[in-house]
Amino acid sequence: EIVMTQSPATLSVSPGERATLSCRASQSVSSSLAWYQHKTGQAPRLLIFGASTRATGIPARFSGSGSGTEFTLTISSLQSEDFAVYHCQQYNNWPPITFGQGTRLEIK
């Protein structure tokens, strides 16, 4: 099973600033990495797949990078609606499909 580790657990950032979230895989997942945004009481929302491809309707301020075992989600200028929990997920080697434990992005 591939273990996904996200850091930090919580990130405090001011609106308008840049946020950088990290995700590490215990072994290479190539570019088979997705990012999701999840707000309490709502459905998770796909942001990025293939490590760097934005899903339909996702604003350009969200970008993904990385390959192999190290990945980054960057939000270039935080808007109020971006404060949420972010999950990474690998789909290179499954089952099982595995997620990181999440990064909570909170307002500073």
Partner 1 sequence: EVQLVESGGGLVKPGRSLRLSCTTSGFTFGDYDMSWFRQAPGKGLEWVGFIRSKVYGGTTEYAASVKGRFTISRDDSKSIAYLQMNSLIIEDTAMYYCARDTYYFDKWGQGTLVTVSS
Candidate list 34, 73, 78, 84; residue touching partner 1; CB under 8 A: 34
Which one, 38 or 61, has the nearer CB to partner 1?
Answer: 38
Annotate 58-84 with three-state secondary structure: CCCCEEEEEECCEEEEEECCCCHHHCC
Residues 3-32 within binding reach of partner 1 (CB under 8 A)? 32
Using CB under 8 A as the binding rule, whether residue 54 contacts partner 1 is answered as: no
In the list 16, 60, 80, 96, the residue contacting partner 1 (rule: CB under 8 A) is 96
Largest CA distance in the chain: 39
| Integer-rounded Cα radius of gyration of the chain | 13
The neighbour count for residue 102, using CB atoms within 10 Å, is: 17
- Sites of contact with partner 1 (CB under 8 A): 32, 34, 36, 38, 41-46, 49, 55, 87, 89, 91, 94-102
